[in-house]
């Protein structure tokens, strides 16, 4: 069976530089119409929630999406800037047929994208994305004037999402006595994250809360974790929390400024939850540090790996009826609290552990050993990455490296699906040995011609 080659949808919606295909006003208008036709099917009069981050282009794309959805006969509710997981929550709460987020996540301001959620608040499956793409190639037909969609502003979107975040915690939970440093990346969480933390009683020191349309992710946020480390030290905070532009990922810093990424968060939460009845296990990805897998197994916790991407982590969790999974980048899924990766909800889950155990973040992650990891991106000359990783010379080198590393190391080759690049990742106990084998495999790949 031939897999459908998508033209518009990537690993997380439609994304690119604003003004260039596929992120042009004309194409986003068509996308809105096509999505309205597919996602609104079966609803007498569908309703779609549209949220966005703080990019200047959000106004442009919001208008184009609104027009396309209206032309398809779908009503629209606009939230303004709100974290991506907030749209997933509101979609379910108000009974909408879909949710749409205008964001390019951790990318700079000149990029933007469109992410979709189903009525259940989850990423679209391949079948639904394919159906939308088919309509993208057809002429747009507007419904009659009497059936056009109407737009309204959801003025209480921020307090609704804030309440949802607080409700993921025990009723009497408080953060009194904690000083928390927060970096909102000048993005979608700039209002709601400080609001929730202050309402819970924490003293909050913020950066990245002055968006101007252009400064999203610029030197701040989870992709610049040194900023949250510095803020923790400057303010003598107990913990630091850094989000990306749409706040679906989070990175933490302990009281000394030492960083805790998604791997550390997975370890911490799994150790806390392992005694809970029906907990199950943990889903990481191919890139999750070996130390997490070893620590889980040592603690009697089952650990499995999914392909890279929070969508694949979610699929694995759902198939196993588990609740905890995530990526090194800070996409953490707590399915007992949210339907999708949520940076703020994940941070609150960690804060719950800290307050309940009365242990600082540094102590809670002290049992995790992060193994040395080397990642090399090998550029190819017009060679299909998927072909070259199956070359006998590459297979032989990988096999030799795996034999040397043994069960305390691993090799992962990831061919890019969009460019002539092979990502070589080697992990193990000895940093010099890891570096040597990563370079050996990369050298074999770079010298091959098919």
Write down the pLDDT at residue 4: 52
Q: What's the pLDDT tens digit per position in 334-388?
A: 999 999 999 999 999 999 999 999 999 999 999 999 999 999 999 887 656 667 8
Contact indicator for 211, 366 with CB cutoff of 8 Å = no
Q: Are residues 333 and 397 in the same domain?
A: no
Q: What's the pLDDT tens digit per position in 20-43?
A: 999 999 999 999 999 999 998 766
338 among known catalytic residues: no
Residue 187 forms part of a structural domain: yes
Write down the pLDDT at residue 1: 35
Residues 37 and 59: their CA atoms lie apart, in Å, by: 23
Residue 1 forms part of a structural domain: no
Residues 268 and 37: their CA atoms lie apart, in Å, by: 43
pLDDT at 317 over 90: yes
Contact indicator for 88, 340 with CB cutoff of 8 Å = yes
pLDDT at 2 over 60: no
Write down the pLDDT at residue 448: 82
pLDDT confidence bin for 53, thresholds 50/70/90: very high
How many helices, marked H, and strands, marked E, lie in the chain?
A: 15, 18
Say if residue 22 is preceded by a cis peptide, omega within 30 of 0.
yes
pLDDT at 201 over 50: yes
Q: Are residues 229 and 344 in the same domain?
A: yes
Q: What's the pLDDT tens digit per position in 169-186?
A: 999 999 999 999 999 999
Q: Are residues 275 and 316 in the same domain?
A: yes
Residue 326 forms part of a structural domain: yes
pLDDT at 277 over 80: no
Residues 442 and 399: their CA atoms lie apart, in Å, by: 14
Write down the pLDDT at residue 41: 78
Q: Are residues 237 and 317 in the same domain?
A: yes
Residue 254 forms part of a structural domain: yes
Q: Which CATH number characterizes residue 22's domain?
A: 3.40.120.10
Write down the pLDDT at residue 58: 98
Contact indicator for 92, 339 with CB cutoff of 8 Å = yes
Question: What count of other Cβ atoms lies within 10 Å of the Cβ of residue 95?
Answer: 9
**Domain boundary residue, one of 120, 136, 155:** 155
Instruction: Indicate the number of domains in the chain.
Output: 3
Higher pLDDT, 6 or 396: 396
Q: What's the pLDDT tens digit per position in 100-109?
A: 999 999 999 9
252-271 average pLDDT score? 98
Residue 229 forms part of a structural domain: yes
Exactly one of 57, 70, 103, 105 is catalytic; which is it?
Answer: 105
Q: Give one word for 17, left, alpha or beta, with left for phi > 0 and alpha for psi -120 to 50.
A: beta
**Domain boundary residue, one of 339, 364, 389:** 364
3-state secondary structure of 134: helix
Q: Are residues 356 and 409 in the same domain?
A: no
pLDDT at 416 over 80: no
Q: Which CATH number characterizes residue 388's domain?
A: 3.30.310.50
Burial of 2 (0-12, 13-18, 19+ CB in 10 A): exposed
Residues 427 and 405: their CA atoms lie apart, in Å, by: 8
Percent of the chain with pLDDT over 70: 96
Residue 9 forms part of a structural domain: no
Q: Are residues 308 and 425 in the same domain?
A: no
Q: Are residues 317 and 231 in the same domain?
A: yes
Most confident of 204-218, 394-408, 411-425: 204-218
Q: Are residues 357 and 396 in the same domain?
A: no
In 3D space, the residue among 48, 47, 49, 65 whose CA is nearest the CA of residue 112 turns out to be: 65
Mean pLDDT of the chain: 93
**Domain boundary residue, one of 155, 178, 210:** 155
pLDDT at 163 over 90: yes
pLDDT at 3 over 60: no
Residue 2 forms part of a structural domain: no
Higher pLDDT, 223 or 2: 223
Which single residue is written with the structure tokens 């990346």? 185
Q: Are residues 196 and 304 in the same domain?
A: yes
Residues 328 and 288: their CA atoms lie apart, in Å, by: 6
Domain housing 311: 161-364
Burial of 412 (0-12, 13-18, 19+ CB in 10 A): middle
**Which pTM does this prediction carry?**
0.92
What one-character DSSP code corresponds to residue 371? Answer: P
Q: Are residues 96 and 180 in the same domain?
A: no
Q: Are residues 343 and 385 in the same domain?
A: no
Give the helix/strand (H/E) hosting 251. strand 250-253
Write down the pLDDT at residue 296: 95
Higher pLDDT, 427 or 420: 427
pLDDT at 79 over 60: yes
pLDDT at 393 over 60: yes
Q: Are residues 174 and 316 in the same domain?
A: yes
Residue 8 forms part of a structural domain: no
Burial of 280 (0-12, 13-18, 19+ CB in 10 A): middle
pLDDT at 149 over 80: yes
């Amino acid at each position: 069976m031939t897999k459908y080659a998508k033209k518009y949808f990537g690993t997380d919606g439609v994304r690119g530089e604003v003004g260039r295909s596929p992120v042009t006003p004309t194409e986003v208008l068509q996308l809105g119409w096509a999505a309205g036709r597919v996602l609104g099917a079966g609803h007498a009069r569908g309703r779609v929630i549209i949220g966005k981050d703080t990019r200047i282009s959000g106004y442009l794309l919001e208008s184009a999406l609104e027009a396309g959805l209206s032309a398809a006969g779908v009503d629209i509710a606009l939230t303004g800037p709100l974290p991506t997981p907030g749209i997933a929550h509101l979609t379910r709460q108000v009974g909408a047929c879909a949710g749409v987020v205008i964001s390019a996540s951790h990318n700079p301001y000149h990029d933007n994208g469109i992410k979709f959620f189903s009525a259940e608040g989850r990423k679209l499956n391949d079948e639904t994305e394919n159906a939308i793409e088919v309509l993208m190639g057809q002429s747009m037909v507007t419904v009659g004037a009497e059936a056009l969609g109407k737009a309204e502003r959801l003025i209480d979107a921020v307090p609704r999402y804030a309440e949802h975040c607080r409700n993921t915690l025990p009723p009497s939970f408080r953060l009194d006595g904690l000083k928390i440093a927060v970096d909102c990346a000048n993005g979608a969480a700039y209002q709601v994250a400080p609001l929730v933390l202050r309402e819970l009683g924490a003293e909050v020191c913020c950066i990245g809360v002055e968006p101007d349309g252009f400064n999203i992710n610029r030197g701040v946020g989870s992709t610049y974790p040194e900023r949250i480390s510095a803020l923790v030290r400057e303010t003598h905070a107990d913990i630091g929390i850094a989000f990306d532009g749409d706040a679906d990922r989070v990175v933490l810093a302990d009281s000394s400024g030492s960083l805790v990424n998604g791997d550390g968060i997975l370890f911490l939460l799994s150790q806390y939850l392992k005694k809970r009845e029906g907990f199950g296990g943990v889903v990481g990805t191919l890139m999750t540090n070996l130390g997490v897998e070893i620590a889980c197994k040592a603690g009697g916790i089952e650990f499995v790996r999914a392909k890279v991407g929070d969508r694949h982590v979610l699929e694995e969790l759902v198939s196993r009826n588990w609740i905890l999974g995530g990526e090194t980048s800070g996409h953490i899924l707590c399915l007992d609290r949210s339907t999708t990766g949520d940076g703020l909800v994940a941070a609150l889950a960690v804060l719950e552990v800290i307050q309940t155990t009365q242990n600082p973040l540094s102590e809670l992650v002290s049992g995790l050993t992060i193994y040395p990891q080397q990642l090399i991106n090998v550029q190819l000359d017009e060679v299909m990455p998927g072909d070259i990783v199956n070359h006998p010379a590459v297979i032989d080198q990988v096999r030799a490296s795996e034999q040397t590393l043994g069960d305390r190391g691993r090799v992962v080759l990831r061919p890019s699906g969009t460019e002539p690049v092979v990502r070589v990742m080697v992990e193990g106990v000895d940093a010099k040995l890891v570096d040597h084998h990563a370079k050996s495999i990369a050298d074999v790949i770079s010298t091959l011609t098919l």
